Amino acid sequence: MNGVSLLGKILGKVYTENDANLDYIRNKKIAILGYGSQGRAWALNLRDSGLNVHVGLERQGNSWKQAVSDGITPEKTEDALKDSDIVIFLVPDMVQRKIYTEKVMPVLRDGMDLVFAHGFNIHYKLIVPPENVDVYMAAPKAPGPSVREFFVKGGGVPVLVGVHQDHSGNALNKALAIAKGLGATKAGVLETSFREETETDLMGEQLDLVGGLTAMLRATFQTIVDLGYRPEMAYFEAINEMKLITDQIYDKGLSGMLRAVSDTAKYGGLTVGPYIINDEVKKRMREKAEMIRSGKFASEWIEEYDEGSKHLQALMDDLDNSLEEQVGRELREIVLRGRPKN
Ligand SMILES: NC(=O)c1ccc[n+]([C@@H]2O[C@H](COP(=O)([O-])OP(=O)(O)OC[C@H]3O[C@@H](n4cnc5c(N)ncnc54)[C@H](O)[C@@H]3O)[C@@H](O)[C@H]2O)c1
Ligand SMILES: CC(C)(O)[C@@H](O)C(=O)O
Ligand SMILES: [Mg+2]
Ligand SMILES: [Mg+2]
């Protein structure tokens, strides 16, 4: 069977505009905890969708200033949580348990909702809510800035919804309402479980989107430079053009991208790609996917975070100081000058 003959038979239910009703959450006090990548997008999109949004922050730092400059009046976490009906966790995954234990638990009431953008804390049992609350998720399949950008332009990014606990009997309807408020029903909303979302999200970002991609771009850059070519040539080829190639994939799929490049690139790409990403590499991918499934990755990350994220910081410092990032900082000035303005 090819992709075309399967069309329309693979996806489960896709929820769109008429499947979701904002009334389920319209008159509720929504406390958004965190104003970072997702927090900013959620607060602004839900506010612009006419919902009663309060932003709760722990301190008056950069997020606070950003919120104020966006026309939001942030509050101390305790004030945002006071009498709230829906609590949305948009602080980093590793911070959620502390905020839950110290700030949310003391004010949890029968019938409140706990909402997540990623299932990590619930799936790995860092947060174990009582039975008398709804626990659901709306997980954008996009970085926070895109969640806002798509909404502002009249669209929305796809979102996955999932229900962990349905005390009210309406958890799915409320998750769909949140997704609609974010703009996601303009695209489509798919249903998942906390387990499936958590594990596949981690697999995607480690094996390819964030981990595999960064390592592959750097390895290609380093290979070209090691052969004596100039770093700026290597940066253009190995790193900068990736966006334009993935734009093609985004719009037209893998085969559409292949049809947009030359036959030479097509032949070289389709023969050399699987030689590089060979069975040995796939075996290593599987090994890391199994660590996600067993919870070993979660334990490793929690331990690293609890010890001050020193290893993570060292890896970021190494990247920031690399030749590819140095040349990239200079080249982006040229590249971004030529980017069309919307
Ligand atoms: N970043 C994304 O694009 C993305 C995509 C999908 C899902 N998610 C999920 O969304 C949730 C939020 O992630 P994010 O990347 O938007 O977070 P972020 O790191 O961008 O946001 C951090 C926010 O939390 C606050 N914060 C940071 N450390 C804190 C601490 N120790 N105590 C209290 N507040 C603190 C910051 O001031 C900021 O307001 C996570 O569950 C994440 O997995 C993120
Ligand atoms: C944007 C991503 C990588 O898809 C998200 O999952 C995250 O954790 O930031
Ligand atoms: Mg993620
Ligand atoms: Mg993701």
Please report whether residue 7 resides in a domain.
no
**Do 161 and 213 have their domain in common?**
no
Please report whether residue 65 resides in a domain.
yes
**Do 143 and 228 have their domain in common?**
no
Contact 197, 162 (CB under 8 A): yes
Task: Examine the pLDDT at 57 and tell me if it is beyond 80.
Answer: yes
Residues, beta carbon < 5 Å, ion ligand 3: 201, 205
Please report whether residue 5 resides in a domain.
no
Which of the listed residues 37, 62, 65, 316 should we mutate to test ligand 1's pocket, taking the one with most ligand atoms within 8 A of CB? 37
Task: Examine the pLDDT at 315 and tell me if it is beyond 90.
Answer: yes
Q: How far is the CA of 34 from the centre of ligand 1 (A)?
A: 6
Domain edge (last residue) among 159, 191, 223 = 191
Tell me which of 54, 118, 123, 164 is the catalytic residue: 118
> What CATH number has the domain bearing residue 23?
3.40.50.720
pLDDT tens profile 13-42: 999 999 999 999 999 999 999 999 999 999
Ligand 1: nearest atom to the Cα of 98: 32
Q: So what's the pLDDT on residue 9?
A: 77
**Do 105 and 243 have their domain in common?**
no
Task: Examine the pLDDT at 255 and tell me if it is beyond 80.
Answer: yes
Is any atom of ligand 1 closer than 6 Å to the C-beta of 84?
A: no
pTM of the full predicted structure? Answer: 0.95
Is this complex's ipTM strictly greater than 0.90? Answer: yes
Number of domains in the chain: 2
**Do 187 and 286 have their domain in common?**
no
Q: How far is the CA of 87 from the centre of ligand 1 (A)?
A: 14
Averaged confidence pLDDT in the chain: 96
Is any atom of ligand 1 closer than 6 Å to the C-beta of 63?
A: yes
Over residues 252-261, the mean pLDDT reads 98
Q: So what's the pLDDT on residue 339?
A: 86
Does residue 311 have an active-site annotation? no
Q: Does 205 belong to an annotated binding site?
A: yes
pLDDT tens profile 68-115: 999 999 999 999 999 999 999 999 999 999 999 999 999 999 999 999
Domain edge (last residue) among 191, 220, 245 = 191
Residue 306 lies in domain = 203-337
Which of the listed residues 32, 33, 35, 38 should we mutate to test ligand 1's pocket, taking the one with most ligand atoms within 8 A of CB? 38
Task: Examine the pLDDT at 3 and tell me if it is beyond 60.
Answer: no
**Do 187 and 207 have their domain in common?**
no
Over residues 154-182, the mean pLDDT reads 98
pLDDT tens profile 260-302: 999 999 999 999 999 999 999 999 999 999 999 999 999 999 9
Q: Does 199 belong to an annotated binding site?
A: no
Task: Examine the pLDDT at 2 and tell me if it is beyond 60.
Answer: no
Q: So what's the pLDDT on residue 7?
A: 54
Quickly state the pLDDT bin for 338 (edges 50, 70, 90). confident
